[in-house]
Amino acid sequence: MPIHPRIFLGLLLLAATLLANCDSLRKKTVAELGAEEVSTFILVRHAEKEHGEFPGLTEEGLERARRLAYTLENTELDAVYSSKTKRTEMTAAPTATAKSLNIIPYDPGQLQDFAKDLKRLYRGKTVLVVGHSNTTPALANYLADTDEFPRFSELDYTNLYIVTLPRIGAPRVVKLRF
């Protein structure tokens, strides 16, 4: 026996309404649990450096630092961190200036404690951290609780890690080039 078109349409609308309400309830529950509160850490090694005891950046390095600022132009940052070397500070400077943020120094010799502090202080925020060929992947490992990211080659200045830490769920690390 065929269903009358009006009854069929009514049942279809009822089913659609129930599904929409279930979806909004599911989303509300996830939101209430804070799953949308994701901490994001953008980690880069300093740009190309000059030679010498306390090197700054080469022209190519200065250009890469400007490119980093351009790459992050539409990204809201809550903080910019740099180790206390001229090359890392010069890499961080264009981004910090564009975002009207001060560069906050950190001790690369205390990475495990630094990672804990970042997680605690910047829950649900976005932070740029400029480091070195050994400290940048090590910090990614500490933040994501893994050991899969090895030291960068001394000749490679192109790596950029995005570490996301959701309040609920597993950390995620995306490795890009810039």
**Could you read off the pLDDT of 101-151 as tens digits, one per residue?**
999 999 999 999 999 999 999 999 999 999 999 999 999 999 999 999 999
Rounded CA separation 44/130 (Å): 5
Q: Are residues 128 and 151 in the same domain?
A: yes
Q: Are residues 72 and 85 in the same domain?
A: yes
For the record, the structure tokens of 14 come out as 């009822």
Q: Are residues 78 and 13 in the same domain?
A: no
Q: Are residues 3 and 53 in the same domain?
A: no
Q: Are residues 10 and 70 in the same domain?
A: no
Q: Are residues 148 and 102 in the same domain?
A: yes
Query: What confidence score (pLDDT) does residue 16 get?
Result: 47
Q: Are residues 28 and 42 in the same domain?
A: no
Question: Contact at 8 Å (CB) between 123 and 37?
Answer: yes
pLDDT at 30 over 50: no
Query: What confidence score (pLDDT) does residue 122 get?
Result: 98
Q: What is the DSSP secondary-structure string of 10-30? A: HHHHHHHHHHHHHHHHHHHHH
Q: Are residues 13 and 78 in the same domain?
A: no
Mean pLDDT of the chain: 88
Q: Are residues 87 and 26 in the same domain?
A: no
Q: Are residues 20 and 79 in the same domain?
A: no
Smallest Cα–Cα separation from 127: which of 43, 37, 35?
Answer: 43
Domain with 142, as residue range(s), is 38-177
Q: Are residues 29 and 87 in the same domain?
A: no
For the record, the structure tokens of 169 come out as 């769920």
Q: Are residues 106 and 120 in the same domain?
A: yes
Instruction: Say how many domains are in the chain.
Output: 2
Query: What confidence score (pLDDT) does residue 9 get?
Result: 47
Rounded CA separation 106/138 (Å): 14
